[in-house]
Structure 1
Amino acid sequence: MSTAERAVTVDPVVPADTESVGSILAESWGGPHVAVHGELIDASAQRALLARVEGRPVGLLTYRAVSDAEWEIVTLDATEAGRGVGRALLDGVRAEAERAGVRRLWLVTTNENTRALRFYQRYGFDLVAVHRDAVEAARRLKPSIPIHADGIPIRHELELELLL
């Protein structure tokens, strides 16, 4: 583990973190709402973990219990790439899930997000479903979702899971 990775701390969000949570969600998602699998989710109202480096907020993971056995990761955002922030956040939610007896962590990303696909699969997530043209429905809920990113049309939701 590198020095940079050891410098990342992850803790559950507390009321004093509200401003940091709002700032990260605004920067990454244009606000607290995320449109996914035909639903508009207020990420700021979900359970969350906040990553810090030297006391500064550098990442956020929001999640919700779908059932006693599975949790959905709603958002994962690292404001500083390459410091182990995303991995630390996943390690944190995984540890909490295992303590709670959760057997499945899952999330949805979109087809153009190749960096996220690589990251999650390297962590151990498996691609289990492709929801073709699902982003069209998401855009009806949140019209600010871009049409393209990195020259790739954003059309499909990809579901990944990690069995615990």
Structure 2
Amino acid sequence: MVMQIVAKRMIAADTVKDFFIQHWETTQVVFSRGLFHYAELEGFGVMDENGKITGLGTYKLSDHVCQIISLNSEHENQGVGSSLLYVMENIAKEKKCHTIKAITTNDNLQALKFFQKRGYVISEIVKNAVEESRKIKPEIPFYSFDGIPIRDEIILEKCL
């Protein structure tokens, strides 16, 4: 697959919005760390040879820490997520961040594997964090597609 990584701001706003909604069901992501609107985030997209967006990664920089907000791909195991993560890590280094963090939920075993294979370590578990997030975003499901209760946030980090 031929792919091109471009800054999120270079992709049509409606295209980014539609992709975000496809993966998050709304234009917002909520964690114990806050509520984030896709339009306010920096990020990168992966475009295929036809100009279609196949991946999107967003982040927020604060106090020498890069917080990954979203990382989604249309196609697993084709390097889209890894490429986006690599670019975000390099941006974080350029901006003098000493740590990059990702947050996932206890049911997201794919994300846990993905980040740990790339040098991230579990640094914190926020028990019952999703219960609080549902107060802001009630459409968060109670169970994953394979029946695991969605309950806790797992924070992974990597020193840069």
| TM-score, scaled to structure 2 | 0.94
Match of 1:133 in 2: 128
Alignment of 1:120 onto 2:115: yes
Residue 71 of structure 1 deviates from its aligned partner by: 1.0
2:157 is matched with 161
Alignment partner of 1:26 is 2:33:
no
Per-residue deviation, residues 45-100 of structure 1 (Å, max 9, x unmatched): 10011111213210100101122x11100011101222110000001111111122
Q: Would you say the 8 A contact 1:38–1:134 is kept in 2?
A: no
Unaligned runs of 5+ in 1: none
- Segments of 4+ in structure 1 off by > 4 A? none
> What is the one-letter code of the residue matched to 1:32?
T
1:107-136 residue CA offsets vs partner (Å, 9 max, x unmatched): 110000001100010011110000000000
Letter aligned with residue 82 of structure 1: N
* Amino-acid identity (%): 28
2:138 aligned partner: 143
Q: Give the superposed CA RMSD.
A: 1.3
Q: 2:82 maps to which residue?
A: 87
- What CA distance in whole angstroms lies between the structure 2 residues aligned with 1:105 and 1:38? 14
Q: Distance in 1 between matches of 2:94 and 2:130?
A: 34
Letter in 2 for 1:64: K
Correspondence 1:43 to 2:38: yes
Contact residue 8 and residue 88 of structure 1 kept, 8 A = no
Q: Which moved more, 1:148-157 or 1:54-63?
A: 54-63
Q: Check the 8 A contact 1:110/1:155 in 2, yes or no.
A: yes
Structure 2 unmatched ranges of 5 or more: none
Paired residue for 2:92? Answer: 97
